[in-house]
Amino acid sequence: MSRNNYFIFKYLRKVTWCIMLMMCVSASYGQQSGKMDAIYSGTPWFDQNGNVVSAHGANIIKEKDTFYLFGEAHTDTSNAFAGFNCYSSKDLYNWKFESIALPLQKSGKLGPNRVGERPKIMKCIKTGEFVMFMHADTLTYKDQFVGYAVSKNIKGPYQFKGPLLYQGKPIKKWDMGTFQDTDGSGYILVHGGEIYKLSDDFNSVTEKVNENITSGFESPTMLKKEGLYYFIGSHLTSWEKNDNYYYTSNSLKGPWQSQGLIAPEGTLTWNSQSTFVLPIQGTKGTTYMFMGDRWSFPKQASSATYVWQPLVISGTSLSIPDYQDAWQLYTVTGISSVADSNDEIIKNTDTQIQYKGNWKETTSESRSEEKDASFTVSFTGEQIALYSLVGSENGYAKVVLTDKKGKVIVSALVDMYSKFSIETQVFRSPLLKKGNYHLTVSVTGERPNWSDKRKSNYGSTGYYISISQIKIKPHKI
């Protein structure tokens, strides 16, 4: 073999090996379980370890090419502070648990039997530090203030510094949020619509920019588009969802103009409460993503979910006119679209679904409140989704996905209660390897119930679980 032919041979062999390696990696990636291919609202999300993502009252901050999600860690037994979690993602679909960014303190204002809520992170341009803000309180909500913590590493650990001071005193409010303007300046938004400007190092407040807008205004969040500010809030209904509303202004100092609701009246903001708006700016546009919480008291750790939806914005109009239970977001271009679906549909009356126990069956749903009553569907496919008619008499369902050998792929406790009745997706599995699977859903005999500070009672009046249909995504050929 000549010297030239020898090098050509080596080059071709190397190219062939690289192509084969890429094909193997691609095939392997396509067979991995645990991945998601879209944003699915109102369903349990699972991290890389198969654990339910616990990050409520959240915000997202982008650092380089990675999104970091911060939110409340919870237990199913108490509303006491259990830490603030940090997750990371490249695509906003798949979340990797990184750390407890701010853990439960041994003592003090974020120690045992205290409340820590609504963590929000901003990067300070002057110092390069990451600063976390939160609502700290007692379990009876009688020692409320906006606190802060700092870290040089976005993932933490964050060092809790105590109350954020304005004129030497804490800002003694409940729900809070943050907003970072296009010039990098930071602001604290609080209960009622007040706005406070942060110092250059984000460690104190220099000015009260805006006075109280209205009573009954909580879960404040804000966005800015083409010089116009949009201020979103919700009514005070404890853990219950409600119709969120918004104001607009050309200045953070106001005046603020009431613009009405952000979703169709009666949908209770598609069963959610605002926590943050994330702008995803790309090469072709910007998608503004509404981030909402779907609380589920007392099962806040295992059953509370998230409602993330693209906002439709034009002039002073901001809305979520339709609920998208599956949508895709292209972080490079900043463009979003409804996820394509070729799912096979299995109705609740189909014999492929095997029921055990007492079930009430109609053409639109099958429902039961008999403890341990269940149904199982066996299938082959890349993904399975459960749809239910959620309503005021519904409770918690146990959902378990297993392979043909009985190994548990994922399991979750699903909340089927809703004051606003609608057919909706309540569970969707991660993408699955080729094989045979079984989805089993059973009645737990538990339901979401709670009372507020005024001893008003909220929540479900029954223990029903419901199935209207199953959707199965076939494997790609």
CATH code where residue 414 lies: 2.60.120.260
From 270, 295, 311, select the one nearest 424 (Cα to Cα): 270
| Position 165 in a domain | yes
| Position 311 in a domain | yes
CATH code of 139's domain = 2.115.10.20
| Position 28 in a domain | no
Shared domain for 289 and 393, answered yes or no, is no
Shared domain for 77 and 144, answered yes or no, is yes
| Position 25 in a domain | no
Collect contacts of 309-317 with beta carbons under 8 A, ≥24 apart: 309/41, 309/270, 310/336, 311/223, 311/262, 311/277, 313/225, 313/230, 313/288, 316/228, 316/248, 316/257, 316/259, 317/259
Which residue in this structure is represented by tokens 């404040």? 220
Q: Where are the beta strands (DSSP E) in 5-102?
A: 56-63, 66-72, 84-89, 96-102
* End position of a domain, from candidates 307, 338, 369: 338
CA dihedral 6, 12, 15, 21 (to 10 degrees): -100
| Position 18 in a domain | no
* End position of a domain, from candidates 321, 338, 355: 338
Distance separating the N- and C-terminal Cα atoms of the chain: 43
Shared domain for 297 and 388, answered yes or no, is no
Shared domain for 357 and 429, answered yes or no, is yes
Sign of CA dihedral 95, 233, 304, 430: negative
C-alpha–C-alpha distance, residues 317 and 259, integer Å? 7
| Position 115 in a domain | yes
* End position of a domain, from candidates 318, 338, 358: 338
If one counts the domains in the chain, the total is: 2
Shared domain for 254 and 234, answered yes or no, is yes
C-alpha–C-alpha distance, residues 420 and 356, integer Å? 28
Shared domain for 310 and 376, answered yes or no, is no
pLDDT, tens digit, 9 for 90 and up, residues 57-110 = 999 999 999 999 999 999 999 999 999 999 999 999 999 999 999 999 999 999
| Position 240 in a domain | yes
C-alpha–C-alpha distance, residues 216 and 241, integer Å? 14
Shared domain for 157 and 254, answered yes or no, is yes
Q: Phi-psi category of 21—alpha, beta or left, where left has phi over 0 and alpha has psi -120 to 50? A: alpha
Shared domain for 128 and 205, answered yes or no, is yes
Shared domain for 238 and 356, answered yes or no, is no
Residues of the chain with pLDDT under 50: 1-33
Shared domain for 139 and 102, answered yes or no, is yes
Looking at residue 391, what is its pLDDT?
A: 97
Enter the pTM of the model: 0.92
* Strand order across the beta sheet in which 56-63 lies: 56-63, 66-72, 84-89, 96-102
Query: CA distances (Å), 22 to each of 29, 34, 36, 90, 94, in order?
Result: 10, 21, 21, 20, 22
Contact 415, 296 (CB under 8 A): yes
Looking at residue 18, what is its pLDDT?
A: 35
Residue 317 belongs to domain spanning = 39-338
Shared domain for 214 and 281, answered yes or no, is yes
From 55, 36, 67, 40, select the one nearest 280 (Cα to Cα): 67
Shared domain for 311 and 382, answered yes or no, is no
| Position 1 in a domain | no
Looking at residue 3, what is its pLDDT?
A: 35
pLDDT, tens digit, 9 for 90 and up, residues 155-203 = 999 999 999 999 999 999 989 999 999 999 999 999 999 999 999 999 9
User: What tokens appear for 297 in the block?
Assistant: 């008291």
